[in-house]
Amino acid sequence: MNMTFINPFTGFFGDAGVNLGMKLLEVLFIVMGLICIYAAIKNLTDKENTAKIGTAIFWGALGLVLAIGRYIPPGFVGILIFVMAAPAIFRRVKVGKTNAPTAEEAKAQSDKIGMKIFIPALSMGIFAIIFALLFGGIISGIPLPTLSQAALLGIGVGVIVAIILLMVYDKQNKPETFMKDSERFLSMVGPLCMLPMLLASLGAIFTAAGVGNVIAYFVGGIIPEGNIAIGIIVYCIGMALFTMIMGNAFAAITVMTVGIGFPFVLALGANPVVIGALALTSGYCGTLMTPMAANFNIVPVALLDMKSKYGVIKQQFYIAIPVLIFQICFMIIFS
């Protein structure tokens, strides 16, 4: 039976509902931009920051791109990105004075709030799922970009709900508290916070530039014609390695599927459902082993103040290799 599902956001509000969703998403980016601009101003006036000018330039340029990027010419946005990159390249983005709570204050808050602290954290994930299901096309079948935008908007709403809950937990939490903490965490992570976005953009550029076709040309001389098992092995290992370079499995899978997955695996009759799912998770094995995956492997090091810069990667390496081997075997058996 052929059933048609209606996107509630579109069904109740029509095109105006979609426009409302996009406007709310735009507001979210403006807020993120303002936080970055606040970080720029704070560091520029911070006497303890030994690189306050470079730090202010980086966060200020990023804030302008996020807040008003769609209202200014693309060429000027490109200039801002180059300006933003310069302090990061020359390591002139530093952490200034922070307002981190003392160990005693953290312990007191932990004793006061207890396990309820997980409710605000869970709200972000819950609202992301709700917005994705209702407004992002999982029910209605609207294309993936709408799904990702809806999930991002849901995370923004979840953050607002989390802030409200934390203010209810402790009356001392004021709006400026969250602004200062946002700046503190931004400064702790530093320019690495931009890495996922830049790498995702690089993946799109590689695809448009035909990197996948170049890979197919070179790999064609290595993989025996018609040998699907060798094709799968090269595809999975290539996904892991390219993800390690790109830092993003979603960016890698497009290039590697065009270059290896389709001509040497799918074209030979492999099950696309099995291949698609396991190729992406093979890429995730690369995510576990690379500093380019900043969100997963570098940000926790900064936030937890770990002694080893690559401490997270060292622990994950011994898991990633067996998982990758298992997925290659699984793909060969069930494809």
Higher pLDDT, 142 or 169: 169
% of the chain exceeding 70 in pLDDT? 88
The whole-chain average pLDDT of the chain stands at 82
Hey, what amino acid is at 294? Answer: A
**Nearest CA to 254 among 294, 295, 201?**
201
Please choose, from the candidates 27, 25, 36, the residue with its C-alpha nearest in 3D space to the C-alpha of residue 61. 36
pLDDT band with cut points at 50, 70 and 90 for residue 137: low
Distance CA 266, CA 284 (A): 20
**Whose CA is closest to 56, among 94, 7, 16?**
94
CA count, 13 A, side-chain hemisphere, 232: 26
Report how far Cα 304 is from the mean position of its chain's Cα atoms: 19
Overall pTM surpassing 0.75 (yes/no): no
Residue 11 has pLDDT above 60, yes or no: no
C-alpha of 318 from chain center: 24
pLDDT greater than 50 at residue 263: yes
pLDDT interval class at 215 (50, 70, 90): confident
Give residue 7's pLDDT band: very low, low, confident or very high (50, 70, 90).
very low
Give the pLDDT score at 223.
80
Q: Are 170 and 45 in contact (CB under 8 A)?
A: no
Max Cα–Cα distance, the chain, nearest Å: 69
Choose the weakest-confidence range: 81-85, 97-101, 196-200, 241-245.
Answer: 196-200
d(CA 315, CA 313): 5
Q: Are 192 and 58 in contact (CB under 8 A)?
A: no
Cα angle 22-255-206, degrees, rounded to a multiple of 5: 70
Secondary structure of residue 28 in the 3-state scheme: helix
Distance CA 259, CA 223 (A): 12
